Homo-oligomer: A and B are copies of this chain.
Amino acid sequence: MTAPLHHAGFFGFDVFGTVVDWRSGVARAARPFLQRYGIGVDPFAFADQWRALYQPAMEQVRTGARPWVRLDVLQRENLELLLARHGADVATLAEDELADLNRAWERLDPWPDAVAGLTRIRRRFPIGTVSNSHVAGMVQLARFGGLAWDAILGAEMAHDYKPQPQVYLKSADVAGVPPHRFVLVAAHNGDLRAARACGLRTVFVPRPLEHGPGQDTDLEAEDDWDLVAGDFLELADLLGCP
């Protein structure tokens, strides 16, 4: 392993895509809903479309066009928007079913290596989330998937969304370590670029199935990140975590 990570004080993880498989989980939750209401769209396409609305919605907050709101609020607005696009009359849908579908983002399976890898890394380093999700959603997701974090950091404590610098800097600050001892682990080169610009250390772990079988982004490291690992088990190996 590279020298800087030996002295890391905290490992922060991007979550959606890096730790958990959002596409399969959202499609799994959407399938019965779409069938029940006769909405004719493939559940995986629906997951992709819902996810595609995620960045523009956060951008409203990043630019200051809209005051801070939590991710579950944005996801719910996007869900209604997407259902309407597919011809649904949202006002006629059952509120509890809409709320339940919105919580699909709290019931996503970890990638197969994630729990075992995190468990090993955590024996040696404190670990936490650096996600754009709200804290409560991360708590539920961790309980669903058996992820044991030392702390939930990220967007909510900065009241802004990645890749805004404040999210990385606030996460390191709250973790009690200087940026150069805070490591971001992510499957997204853009996330790592923003973290590096803030002085954080960076680890890339590709997740070539995040966007399904046709994925053509983030298949490999696009910069000389401090470390690149095939998955979290290899990362644990590289960090010397037995």
The residues of A with any CB-CB pair to B shorter than 8 Å are: 126, 128, 134-140, 142-143, 148, 150-152, 156-157, 174-177
Instruction: From B126, B134, B143, give the contact of A139 (CB < 8 A).
Output: B126
* Interfacial chain B residues near A142, Cβ < 8 Å: 150
Tell whether, in the assembled complex, residue B176 and residue A151 are in contact, meaning their CB atoms are under 8 Å apart: no
Query: Taking the full assembly, how many copies of this chain does it contain?
Result: 2
In whole angstroms, what is the CA distance A128 to B151 when docked? 10
In whole angstroms, what is the CA distance A157 to B151 when docked? 13
- Report the minimal beta-carbon distance from A209 to chain B, rounded to whole angstroms: 28
Tell whether, in the assembled complex, residue A175 and residue B143 are in contact, meaning their CB atoms are under 8 Å apart: no
With A137-B176, A151-B135 known as contacts, the answer to whether A143 contacts B156 (CB < 8 A) is: no
Tell whether, in the assembled complex, residue B174 and residue A156 are in contact, meaning their CB atoms are under 8 Å apart: yes
- Report the minimal beta-carbon distance from A71 to chain B, rounded to whole angstroms: 11
Tell whether, in the assembled complex, residue B136 and residue A175 are in contact, meaning their CB atoms are under 8 Å apart: yes
Tell whether, in the assembled complex, residue A176 and residue B126 are in contact, meaning their CB atoms are under 8 Å apart: no
Instruction: From B126, B139, B174, B177, give the contact of A175 (CB < 8 A).
Output: B139
